[in-house]
Amino acid sequence: MVSDDELFERRRRQMVREQLEDRDIEDRDVLDALGIVPREAFVPEDYRSMAYSDRPLPIGKGQTISQPYIVALMTQMAELDGDDRVLEIGTGSGYGVAVASRIADEVYTLERHPELAESARASLEEVGYDNVEVILGDGTKGLPDRAPFDAIIATASGPDVPDSLKEQLAVGGRLVMPVGGKTGGQRLVGVRRIDEASYDEEDMGFVRFVPLIGEEGWSEGEAT
Ligand code: SAH
């Protein structure tokens, strides 16, 4: 008999090969991190059998856990190092931040839905990742108390990159965020802080994310 853990591990290895390596994920740390984090611990019970499918899955509150490939792509764009301090906006299931925590040193993540923050904390505790802090709040303002960050990853889409987030990047730091309309898809944007006053921006293609709701994002009333 194959145990559930063994089965999930096989599927995880297959996911890394077919969904990541066979596409354009080359960063060894990113491939290793997605090969370690048990995604089944971050999806609702009813969806566990689909934990390694090539798609986002519902996690409640109208939100989703991102497709594994998108988590890998954003983490690769963030160019994380072992001594980095990282901020994620939009904890959701906690999966994305769990992946980042296997590469970086200290990871902070902000979530606006109390229920999601709570269940993400529970999942992170279950897997025993203790370099992650889940904080309840509006991520569009970032986390000024803990800035600067070597990388900021926003997993919800806004009309533009909030200035507060750019200002909280260390010089040389990277920010990754979906930017564009509220529905119908967005562009995945990578920002690099060149010096105190200048930033470089690159477009990494079409993506589809849930909206970032907050002071420097979309307003609550517009929420779907
Ligand atoms: N990284 C997540 C993806 C979550 S989807 C994962 O791996 O599962 C995006 C999340 O952003 C949702 O949970 C949503 O509630 C949250 N969100 C939207 N606007 C936010 C804001 N202003 N501050 C913090 N979280 C926000």
Contacts of 63 (CB under 8 A, 6+ apart): 92, 113, 116, 210
* C-alpha separations of 129 from 28, 47, 92, 199 in Å: 20, 22, 16, 32
Would you state the pLDDT for residue 224? 47
Which residue carries 């920010």 as its tokens? Answer: 175
Is any ligand 1 atom within 6 A of the Cβ of residue 43? Answer: no
Residue 117 has a CB neighbour count (10 Å cut-off) of: 20
Cα–ligand 1 centroid distance for 64 (angstroms):
8
The span from the CA of 22 to the CA of 109, in Å, is 30
Q: Is 66 a catalytic residue?
A: yes
pTM, two decimals, is 0.97
CATH fold label, 4-207: Rossmann fold (3.40.50)
Give the number of other CB atoms < 10 A from CB of residue 139: 31
Ligand 1 pocket residue status of 39, Cβ below 6 Å: no
The domain spans of the chain are 4-207
- List, in order, residues 6 or more apart from 50 with CB less than 8 Å away: 43, 57
Residue 11 structure tokens: 């599927």
What is the rounded CA–CA span in Å between residue 152 and residue 149? 7
Q: Which of 49, 53, 66, 101 is catalytic?
A: 66
- 201-207-210 Cα angle (round to 5): 105
pLDDT of residue 114: 98
Q: Is the beta carbon of 64 within 6 A of some atom in ligand 1? A: yes
Specify the pLDDT at position 223: 46
Question: What's the rounded Cα separation, in Å, for the pair 105 and 150?
Answer: 11
214 lines ligand 1 (CB under 6 A): yes
User: Ligand 1 pocket: which of 89, 124, 176, 188 to mutate (most atoms <8 Å of CB)?
Assistant: 89
d(CA 95, CA 58): 13
30 exposure class (CB count in 10 Å sphere: 0-12, 13-18, 19+): buried
Q: What is the pLDDT along the chain (224 residues), one digit of tens a residue?
A: 788 899 999 999 999 999 999 999 999 999 999 999 999 999 999 999 999 999 999 999 999 999 999 999 999 999 999 999 999 999 999 999 999 999 999 999 999 999 999 999 999 999 999 999 999 999 999 999 999 999 999 999 999 999 999 999 999 999 999 999 888 899 999 999 999 999 999 999 999 999 999 999 999 875 44
DSSP calls for 50-96: GTTSSS-EEEETTEEEPPHHHHHHHHHHTT--TT-EEEEE--TTSHH
Return the half-sphere exposure (C-beta side, CA atoms, 13 A cut-off) of residue 117: 17
